[in-house]
């Protein structure tokens, strides 16, 4: 029986088992390939999505458990109010290879939704789970601060 999920405000019926990791439902069934596969075991957070506003590792979240909730992927970040963050990412030249960046932006979006002006320690603590093998952490911090500063 198909599983109903709502992604970026659009309702979908996914013909897959409820236990399928949400990551693969997004990528393989819905073609939303902005959500990246890194480790598959909840350790790198490159697969971050927001579920009812909370960052979740989609590789470790079942499709069934996400049913009935609001899922936001990087493709819906601008519509979800993260356009200023994306602009700051560009202005600060944050990405290197880019692979981890969808997860970084969504995690930063959740941080700024919870805390309007986080200090360095709060930014570092919030962003730490999302691993970046290119080492873009200093630019991530600068971009988050820049986006936070631009908010009323």
Long-range CB contact pairs, 122-131, < 8 A, 24+: 129/45, 130/44, 130/45, 130/46, 130/48, 130/100, 130/103, 130/104, 131/38, 131/43, 131/44, 131/45, 131/46, 131/100
Ranges within 100-139 binding ligand FES (CB under 6 A)? 100-101, 132-134, 136
Which of 29, 38, 76, 118 lies at the binding interface for ligand FES (CB under 6 A)? Answer: 38
Query: In the bound complex, what is the minimum distance in angstroms from residue 56's beta carbon to ligand FES?
Result: 9
Query: In the bound complex, what is the minimum distance in angstroms from residue 19's beta carbon to ligand FES?
Result: 16
Write each residue from 54 to 73 as x if it is in contact with ligand FES (CB under 6 A), else as -, in one continuous string: ---x-x--------------
User: Does 42 sit near ligand FES (CB under 6 A)?
Assistant: yes
Q: Cα(58)–Cα(55) distance, rounded to whole angstroms?
A: 9
Query: In the bound complex, what is the minimum distance in angstroms from residue 138's beta carbon to ligand FES?
Result: 12
């Amino acid at each position: 029986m198909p599983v109903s999920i709502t992604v970026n405000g659009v309702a979908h019926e996914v013909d897959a088992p409820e236990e399928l990791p949400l990551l693969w439902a997004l990528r393989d069934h819905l073609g939303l390939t902005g959500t990246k596969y890194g480790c598959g075991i909840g350790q790198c957070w490159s697969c971050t999505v927001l579920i009812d506003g909370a960052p979740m590792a989609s590789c470790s979240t079942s499709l069934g458990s996400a049913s009935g909730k609001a899922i936001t992927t990087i493709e819906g970040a601008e519509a979800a109010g993260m356009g200023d963050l994306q602009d700051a990412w560009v202005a600060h030249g944050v990405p290197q290879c880019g692979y981890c960046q969808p997860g970084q932006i969504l995690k930063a979006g959740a941080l700024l939704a919870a805390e309007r002006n986080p200090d360095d320690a709060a930014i570092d603590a919030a962003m730490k789970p999302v691993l970046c093998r290119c080492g873009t952490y200093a630019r991530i911090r600068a971009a988050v601060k820049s986006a936070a500063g631009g908010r009323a």
